Amino acid sequence: MTARHFSHLPDDDVERLFSRPPEPLGRDCPPALLAAALGATLYMPGTRPQLARDLVKQAAKGVVSSVVCLEDSVADADLAAAELNVVAQLRELARSGDESPFVFVRVRRPEQIPQIVSGLGDDARILSGFVLPKFSESYGAAFLDALDDASAAAGLRLLAMPVIESPEIIHRETREDALLGVQRLLDKHRSSVLAVRTGATDLCGVYGIRRGRDLTIWDVRLVAGVLTDVVNVLGRTDGTGFVVTGPVWEYFSGDERLFKPQLRHTPFDQHDANTLRADLITRDLDGLIREVVLDKVNGLTGKTVIHPSHVPVVHSLSVVTHEEYADATDVLDAAGRAGASASRYGNKMNESKPHLSWAERTMLRARAFGVAAEDVGLVDLLAATAGRP
pLDDT tens for each residue of 293-312: 999 999 999 999 999 999 99
Nearest alpha carbon to residue 148 among 193, 105, 90, 103: 193
Q: For position 136, what pLDDT does the model report? A: 96
Q: Judge whether residue 272 has pLDDT over 80.
A: no
Residue 220 inside a domain? The answer is yes
With CA atoms as reference, report the closest residue to 259 among 278, 276, 281, 292: 281
Q: What percentage of the chain exceeds 90 in pLDDT?
A: 79
* Arithmetic mean of pLDDT over the chain: 92
Whole-number pLDDT of residue 271: 62
Q: What is the CATH number of the domain that holds 293?
A: 3.20.20.60
Predicted local confidence at residue 359, as pLDDT = 96
pLDDT for residue 2: 83
Lowest mean pLDDT among 11-25, 33-47, 185-199, 371-385: 371-385
Q: So what's the pLDDT on residue 287?
A: 86
- On whether residue 336 sits in a domain, the answer given is no
β-strand 25-26 against 65-69: which pairing, if any? unpaired
The length of the chain, given as a count of residues:
389
pTM higher than 0.85: yes
Q: Name the band, by pLDDT with cuts 50, 70 and 90, for residue 388.
A: very low
356 CB-near residues (< 8 Å, 6+ apart): 331, 332, 335
Write out the residue range of the structural domain in which residue 276 sits: 38-318
Please give the backbone phi and psi of residue 29, each rounded to the nearest 5 degrees, phi first.
-70, 160
Mean pLDDT on 152-178: 97
How many folded domains does the chain comprise?
1
Cross-strand pairs, 351: 340
Answer for the pair 134, 165: CB distance below 8 angstroms, yes or no. Answer: yes
Residue 262 inside a domain? The answer is yes
Is position 60 within any domain? yes
Type of residue at 153: A
More confident residue, 59 or 388: 59
- Residue 232: pLDDT above 60? yes
Q: Is 279 annotated as a binding residue?
A: no
> Per the domain annotation, does 339 fall within a domain?
no
The SS3 of residue 371 is strand
Q: Residue 167 domain-assigned?
A: yes
- 220 or 257, higher pLDDT: 220
pLDDT digits (tens, 9 = 90+) for 329-357: 999 998 877 778 888 888 898 998 899 99
- The pLDDT of 41-66, averaged and rounded, is 97
Closest by Cα among 177, 158, 176, 162 to 244: 162
Query: Exposed (0-12), middle (13-18) or buried (19+): which is 33, by Cβ within 10 Å?
Result: middle
Q: What's the Cα-to-Cα distance from 126 to each of 51, 90, 266, rounded to whole Å?
A: 13, 7, 45
- In this prediction, what percent of the chain has a pLDDT beyond 70? 91
Cβ atoms of residues 302 and 38 within 8 Å: yes
Q: Distance between CA atoms of 135 and 283, rounded to whole angstroms?
A: 33
Q: Which residue has the higher pLDDT, 152 or 387?
A: 152
Domain membership of residue 348 (yes or no) is no
What are the distances in angstroms from CA 170 to CA 137, 195, 226, 332, 370? 15, 20, 6, 37, 36
Is there a domain that residue 352 lies in?
Answer: no
Query: What string of H, E and C letters represents the secondary structure of 274-328?
Result: HHHHHHHHHCCHHHHHHHHHHHHHCCCCCEEECCHHHHHHHHHHHCECHHHHHHH
